Amino acid sequence: MAKSSNPQSMANNLTYPTYLDVPMMLDFLGTLEDGVSHSSESIEKTNQSRSGSSEGSLSGSTSSLVDILGLSLSLSGKLKKDKSKDESVENSFVRTHTSASLFNKLRRTLSSEGAITQVEANSDLNSVSPGEVVEFSGKVSPNPLASLIDFFDNVKPFIDLHLSGGFDEIEGTESQYDDSDKNNIQLVSSFIELLRGDIEKSNVVDLLMANNQGVKAIFATDEEYFTSNKESMFLGGTFTLLGKVTQVENNTNQSMNTVRRGAMGVIAHHFLEDLFGKLAENLEIHGMRQQVPSVQVYSPWIQVVPLAIYV
């Protein structure tokens, strides 16, 4: 069953967000704390005390008149004065928060309030509803559409060589691509360019995270905070996702089509998969066995608006 996280010591609970939606974080933190302060000031006051003393002595004789009378008197005395002085010193320090420190502060607050639900197994999804804040850990996979484009870009030189008859001379055989196959390849190429255009114009990047129990999380990152360099850093590593749930699917054989934006959003997913499946069959005939990336994500999965991805 889903369980709420328990607060731990600050050192053990220290995290570093490799992706962070800063406006979303500030909105959450400002709501919880009635405003957000990016710095704090502290004053250190120390008291110092100084003490000392001065001492003097005095000695002498009486005047000459006394001496004439045959009297002898002496005069002596001692003067001592104690002094003490208190001094106060004040030092002012300004501590400035970074985005990462504010995120750790927000996460500790949510955790201490029991507001974060951990999702690990398929059964956990039964008690998760849209709007909840969840944490989910798993390995990050690349954007399915980007994977499909990379697949085509990688095999396109070989396809062009086959279509031009370049492999026929090497293999000593006639090309096994008929007019239907050539039309299919041209159609695939056109769709790929449409997909490429959709990705370049989009302000979000879809990613997939999956754990070892088969549960998946689908989330769209804002390209303002998610660069191509960061995407490369994520791939293959295990990270934790924190965000708000928008959809939950744990029914068997339910799927989501990742081609749901832009010009390609109106194309049925099975049409694309059939089209690329035929391309893969043609490639296998010529000794190039390639696994075509799927544009479908099958249940169980949750869709999340990501606040942060962290380690």
pLDDT for residue 69? 41
Q: What is the pTM of this model?
A: 0.68
Q: Render pLDDT for 57-80 as a digit per residue (tens, 0 to 9).
A: 545 544 554 454 444 445 455 545
pLDDT at 28 > cutoff 90: yes
pLDDT, position 26: 93
Report pLDDT for 103. Answer: 95
Q: What was the pLDDT predicted at 55?
A: 54
More confident residue, 95 or 249: 249
Q: How many whole angstroms separate alpha carbon 177 and alpha carbon 160?
A: 11
Which amino acid type is present at position 72?
S
**Alpha-carbon gap, residue 108 to 162, rounded angstroms:** 59
Q: Give the model's pLDDT for residue 222.
A: 82
Q: What is the pLDDT of residue 308?
A: 95
- C-alpha distances (whole Å) from 290 to each of 117, 148, 164, 269, 276 are 39, 12, 21, 19, 11
In the predicted structure, residue 129 carries a pLDDT above the cut 90: yes
Query: According to the model, what pLDDT value does residue 175 have?
Result: 52
* 144's tokens: 């399915």
User: What residue type is 216 in one-letter code?
Assistant: K
Residue 121: helix, strand or coil by DSSP?
coil
Instruction: Specify which residues 50 forms β-bridges with.
Output: 85
User: Above 50 in pLDDT, residue 221?
Assistant: yes
State the chain's mean pLDDT as an integer. Answer: 75
| pLDDT tens column, 138-166 | 999 877 778 888 888 887 887 777 666 65
Strand partners of residue 302: 217, 248
Decide if 73 contacts 79 (C-beta within 8 A).
no
**pLDDT tens by residue, 30-55:** 998 887 776 666 566 666 555 555 55
d(CA 81, CA 309): 71
- How do residues 169-206 score in pLDDT, each as one tens digit? 545 455 555 667 677 778 888 888 888 887 787 788 78
Instruction: Tell me the two tokens of residue 87.
Output: 């001094």
Considering only 137-146, 213-222, 272-281, 286-295, which range has the smallest mean pLDDT?
A: 286-295
Q: Name which of 134, 125, 137, 118 is nearest 251 in CA terms.
A: 125
Residue % of the chain over a pLDDT of 90: 29
Angstrom distance (rounded) from CA 232 to CA 146: 12
> When comparing pLDDT for 32 and 271, which is higher?
32
